[in-house]
Structures are given as structure tokens and as C-alpha cells.
Amino acid sequence: IVGLAGILWSSWVFLGIGYSVRFLSFPKYRRTLMWGGGFGVFCLAFGVEWLQRSIPGRSPDMTDVLIAMVAWSAAWVGYDQQSQRGRS
């Protein structure tokens, strides 16, 4: 249960950041922010996991990186549908 709570905590952080960036950005820059932010989230999560190699008793886990990416991506679901509706 402790591990599941940690997974949920990290996913909410990236989901919240993703929604904030999506709704506070200008529509002109959203696609760039979506891809650039996704790359930034990947680098941040991967860097944190990579640094855990030096902590005794801890090992890096790619699952946390994937969860961060899924949470970030979930915030952007429906972005293309909204942009298509706005053009027509």
C-alpha cells in the first residue's frame, strides 16, 4: 500500500502541472508546450531515478518515469479535438 500511495502521489503532481500548463498557455503555443513539457517531464523523472543509484538501499525504477509521462499525457488528452473545433 505504501508503494501504491507513492505512485499516486507522483502521478497527481505531473497531472496537475500538465493541466496547469495546458489551460494557462496561449493556444498558439500549446503544441510546443505539450511536446517540450513532455520531454522536460521525462528528463526530470529520469534524472531523479538516475540519482537514486547513489542512495544505499534504493534502486532506480523506470516505472516512475513511465507514470510521470502517462500523467503528463493524460492532461493533454482531448487537446486536438478542442483545437479542431475552434478552427471550424
Provide the pLDDT confidence category of residue 12 given band limits of 50, 70 and 90: confident
Q: Above pLDDT 90, what percent of the chain? A: 39
With 70 as the cut, is the pLDDT of residue 83 above it?
A: no
Higher pLDDT, residue 5 or 39: 39
With 70 as the cut, is the pLDDT of residue 37 above it?
A: yes
With 80 as the cut, is the pLDDT of residue 85 above it?
A: no
Q: What does pTM read for this prediction?
A: 0.77
Angle at 7 between CA 48 and CA 23, to 5 degrees: 80
Alpha helix stretches (DSSP H) within 25-76: 30-51, 62-75
